[in-house]
Structure 1
Amino acid sequence: MRSLAEQRRLVERIEAAGGKVFADTCLVVAPMEEMGFKAMATNSAKAAFYSPAHSGLKRRFGTTEQCIEAAITGRWPGSSDHLGA
């Protein structure tokens, strides 16, 4: 998937906007707080279930569309909750 995203220059656009793109890793056990993350939105039930045991990150579980909207707006769809706070 990453190579396809790179071919379409999506990774470049995401990173230029301040986002990060990861591949071939389990973010549940990655040092996310040390990397500067405060929150995560995921469409992975596994990540949503296991992440609280490995980090103090605020987390939301939802559809890919909800995760993308949260990444763009910084808020969970339908909520006034600011994910980065």
Structure 2
Amino acid sequence: MDDRYIEEVARLIARSDARGARPCSVCGGREVVNAAVPLDPDTIGVAAIAVAYCRDCDAGDPVAAEMFARLDEALRSDE
């Protein structure tokens, strides 16, 4: 993974975050995390696509559960 790829993924997440907090489009929940799913930019032409994970809707997804656990841990350590 080269620096251009990492920078593009970071820009994508920053653009999603800059739009501000939005409720989940499915359940209306307010605990939504923006993430990026990396793609092969040489094949597709983009580095990643933005994905929003909802704590309630995606509770059964191990990837989402890990993201929310890390977020909770980071928020606790900031207090």
Q: Tell whether the structures are fold-level matches, with TM greater than 0.5.
A: no
- The TM-score with structure 1 as length reference comes to 0.22
Query: If the length of structure 2 is used for normalisation, what is the TM-score?
Result: 0.23
The structure with the largest strand share of the pair is 2
Structure with the bigger percentage of helix: 2
